[in-house]
Amino acid sequence: MNLFEDYKNVIKKAVENDPTKSNKIYGLSEPLLESNREYLKSLRNELPGRELSHEMKLFAKGMGVPETFDYQPLGSHPDFVHLKGTDLVEEHWIISGFIDVKKSTKLFNNFTKATVRLITESIIRASMFAVNLCGGYVHRIQGDGLMVYFGGKNIEKLKAAEDALKSFSMISYFVKNDLKEFFEDNGIQDIHTRAGLDLGHSKQVDWFYSGIGESGEVTTCSLHTSLAPKMQSNAKNRGIVVGHNVTTQLRKDKYFAQRSKEIHDYEDGRKYYQYNFDWERYLVDNNLAVQNDMGVLVLTINTFPDPNRNSRDLYPIASKSKPYFNYG
C-alpha cells in the first residue's frame, strides 16, 4: 500500500516536466515558462483534496477512521474556537508539534519557482492529511512546515500522544522513503524532515485569543508549546525529538533515547529533558509499516483480507525475508 502515491506522482510529474531539465534557468523564454505554469495548474488538480483516494480510504478504514473524515479549519481547534475575539483564558492540556522540511531551499537551484511551489504544496497537503487522519489540528502553515495541536476536551492524553507520534512518523516516512531517492536522482541532496513534539499539562497551558479584531488567532501560551520548535531544531536529519511529558504517557523506553543536553533549565535545580524518538520502530510495532522483500520499510495497515489473494504467492517473499523489523 502506497498511502502517499498521489502526492509523490504529482511531484514526479512536476520535476520531470520542469523547463530547467533541458534549459538553463536564465535562458528560459517567457512563453516556455507560461506553458509550464499552465501545465502545473492542471497538475495541481491531481493532488488529493477533501475526497480521499482509494488507498487513503483503505488506510483510514484500517485505522478505524471514517472514510468520510474531513479536514479541520486552519487555526480553529473546535474546543477553543469560542475564545475568538474575547478576553477569556482557559487552562487545558495540549500536545504542540512542529515539523518542517529542511534544505528545501535547494529546490530553487534546480527548478523554477512554479515547480518548487507545487512540490511544497504536495508535501504540505500530504502532511495535513496525516495530521487530520490521526485526529490532529493544523494550527498554522509556515512555509513548508506545520504547527499542529493534538488533543482536546474529549480525548485522553495517551490517545493524543499516540496519535501525534503516528502522524509525525508517517510524515517522516513520506519524505524519507517516498521522496528522498527521487530527489537525489534529480540532483537534490539531503532534503529531510525534522520534528518536535511536547505535551503541556492543563496547569501549564493557557488558551486565549491573541491579536486585534480579525487580525488574530486562538492560540496557546505554554513553555511546552515554545519548547516544541526548539526540539525540532535539535532533531537529527529525519528525526523526531519529544519532551519528557510525552514519554511519560507511553511509558515505553524502547522508543525514546534521552539526549545528553536538557531542553530547558528551570534554574531552581530542575531540568526538563528531551528524547530522540524511534519513529520507524513505532510504525512497525503499531502495525503501520512492514519491511518488504528488499528490506525497505513500507507503510501498510491491517485491512480486510483480499479473497482473491493466494497465500502461495507469498512464499517467495516469506521464504527469504521477514516482513517486520526484528528489534528484539
CB-based burial, 298-317: b 16+ in 10 Å, e otherwise: bbbbeeeeeeeeeeeeeeee
Compute how many other C-beta atoms are within 10 angstroms of the C-beta atom of residue 270.
9
Has residue 305 been placed in a domain? no
Has residue 319 been placed in a domain? no
- Contacts for 41-45 with beta carbons within 8 Å, 24 or more apart? 43/10, 43/13, 43/14, 43/118, 44/10, 44/118, 44/121
Total domain count for the chain? 1
Predicted local confidence at residue 274, as pLDDT: 97
CA distance 142 to 126: 15
Has residue 195 been placed in a domain? yes
CA distance 291 to 283: 11
Predicted local confidence at residue 187, as pLDDT: 78
Three cell numbers written together for 106: 535547494
Has residue 143 been placed in a domain? yes
CA distance 258 to 32: 52
Which has the closest alpha carbon to 278: 254, 295, 300?
254
Alpha-carbon radius of gyration of the chain: 21
Enumerate the β-bridge partners of residue 298: 290
Has residue 119 been placed in a domain? yes
* pLDDT tens sequence for the chain (328 residues): 678 999 999 999 999 888 877 655 555 667 777 778 888 999 999 999 888 888 888 888 888 888 777 888 888 899 999 999 999 999 999 999 999 988 888 888 888 899 999 999 999 999 999 999 999 999 999 888 999 999 999 999 999 999 999 999 999 999 998 888 788 888 777 788 999 999 999 999 999 999 998 899 999 999 999 999 999 999 998 899 999 999 999 988 899 999 999 999 999 999 999 999 999 999 999 989 887 777 778 888 764 344 444 444 333 434 434 444 444 4
Has residue 322 been placed in a domain? no
CATH code, 58 = 3.30.70.1230
Predicted local confidence at residue 53, as pLDDT: 84
Tens digits of per-residue pLDDT, 6-21? Answer: 999 999 999 988 887 7
CB 288 within 8 A of CB 300: yes
Three cell numbers written together for 35: 506553458
Has residue 103 been placed in a domain? yes
Residue 121, domain extent: 5-286
Residue 229 Cα distances to 54, 96, 146, angstroms: 34, 9, 10
Residue 67 backbone dihedrals phi, psi, to 5 degrees: -65, -20
Has residue 312 been placed in a domain? no
Three cell numbers written together for 75: 487555526
Amino acid at position 173, single letter: Y
- Model pTM? 0.86
CB 23 within 8 A of CB 17: no
CA distance 286 to 268: 39
